[in-house]
Amino acid sequence: MQRGTFQLMKSVNKSIILNKIRISEPISRAQIAKETSLTPPTVSSIVKELIEQGLVRESTLGHSSGGRKPTLLHINTTSFYIIGVDAGPERVDCILTDLTGEILNRTSAVLPTPITNEQFLIVLKERIHVLIQSSTINQESIIGIGVAMHGVVDVKTGISLVAPILHLRNIPIKKVLEEEFNMTVNVENDARALALGESWFGGHGDVSSMVAVNIGRGVGAGVVINGKLYHGAQGIAGEFGHMTIDINGETCECGNRGCLQTLVSGEAIAAQANKQLHEKSIPLKGEDVLHLAQNGNETCIQLLHATGKIIGVGLTNLIHLVNPSKIVLGGGVMNSEEFIMPELLETIQQRVLTEQAKQTKVIVTKLGSDATLLGAVSLLLVELFDPILIG
């Protein structure tokens, strides 16, 4: 779908009505007017437009007390599609979904290292082209592309300002992809995209404040307060992995010493395991540490327990600073949930300031390895259905 067409599909009142239908479907025009305080003529006019655009469909399943059955409205979930991209730091994963987030197609590629800005953008474009070409849907029905990018992102310009693990700066992702595909492209930090995806697809209900933490090759967080994604004054809110834990610790890829990321990322866990087990011939990876722990290797079990404690310290700091209702954990490191979570939860219980704060719910995402990808999809869904969440 061309960028201009997507912009025409959006307006505040349209989004209010679309979101009401999404949340309450099937629903009548009269009920929408009653629950949104919009006038019946306004609702009828906008619904007519939404039906013509293919976003909404009608049914006649309503109850009647003797007269004509009311016409009910539904989101036409298979009329439009979205591309979600999880970009880096080790690979590029792409999915194509309908408006419910059902994944219809996917593709992925490993990122070569070292890599330049131009090479990175070539991989992005090539993967998206492969995804579109291997799908049977009409490209005109794709409303846009959401990109979840690791590191610091300027969401207004869609520029990746700093991608520390890839050692890249100032990648013009939005500009290049919009020129290549002539679609709306939204770019967000991967952890913040994860948080948005959790609020959209995670089944958390009406949570006033939530933090999603992504712990994998890097560590980051996204903060949702009163339903709104929080970016901070300069756009770096949520850089949880660069919280200093040990001022004399290892040097982080950001240049500082002792960042949380240097202690709990998948790479940090693997490095500790290799050091403690004196592995030199074939260095272990993070997933190898989990497999060894599951097979009873005491060193790896204790290492994952220690990792849980350190994450628990970081989350305690987060609770004291933000005091969210819920914290959702994702990323490859949380595949070791069975070893990490007990120590993590115990550490929080020991360290938080108040009894009430002990009730902060901390869970692992139910969206699995697709959590960040679905977060990328939500960057377009939220703009269409509920733009107030992305201001």
- For 34-84, the pLDDT digits (tens) are 998 899 999 999 999 999 988 899 987 655 555 666 789 998 988 899 999
Range of the domain at 64: 3-75
Same-domain check for residues 211 and 347:
yes
- Give, as one character, the DSSP assignment of residue 251: B
Residues forming beta bridges with residue 210, ordered by sequence position: 224, 326
Mean pLDDT of all residues belonging to the chain: 90
> Which pLDDT score, from 0 to 100, does residue 212 have?
93
> Which pLDDT score, from 0 to 100, does residue 389 have?
45
CA dist., res. 105 & res. 141, Å (int): 15
Q: Considering its fold, how many domains does the chain have in total?
A: 3
Contact between residue 247 and residue 216 where contact means Cβ atoms under 8 Å apart:
no
> Which pLDDT score, from 0 to 100, does residue 4 have?
62
Same-domain check for residues 289 and 342:
yes
Mean of pLDDT values over 238-265: 93
Pairing of β 184-189 and β 142-149: parallel
Question: What confidence category does residue 206 fall into, taking pLDDT thresholds of 50, 70 and 90?
Answer: low
Task: Choose the final residue of a domain: 75, 98, 133.
Answer: 75
> Which pLDDT score, from 0 to 100, does residue 163 have?
93
Closest CA to 332 of 202, 226, 214: 214
CATH number of domain containing 385: 3.30.420.40
Residues 6+ apart with CB under 8 A from 262: 249, 250, 251, 252, 268
CA dist., res. 196 & res. 81, Å (int): 18
- Give, as one character, the DSSP assignment of residue 226: T
End-to-end Cα separation, the chain, in angstroms:
23
> Which pLDDT score, from 0 to 100, does residue 391 have?
41
> Which pLDDT score, from 0 to 100, does residue 63 have?
58
Same-domain check for residues 354 and 283:
yes
> Which pLDDT score, from 0 to 100, does residue 6 have?
66
Check residues 89 and 174 and name the one with the higher pLDDT. Answer: 174
Same-domain check for residues 299 and 186:
no
Mean of pLDDT values over 176-181: 96
Summarize pLDDT for 119-146 with one digit per residue, the tens.
Answer: 999 999 999 999 999 999 988 999 999 9
Same-domain check for residues 27 and 119:
no
Same-domain check for residues 135 and 154:
yes
Same-domain check for residues 377 and 351:
no
> Which pLDDT score, from 0 to 100, does residue 68 have?
65
Same-domain check for residues 118 and 141:
yes
Check residues 15 and 363 and name the one with the higher pLDDT. Answer: 363
> Which pLDDT score, from 0 to 100, does residue 11 have?
74
- Whether the predicted pLDDT of 388 surpasses 60: no
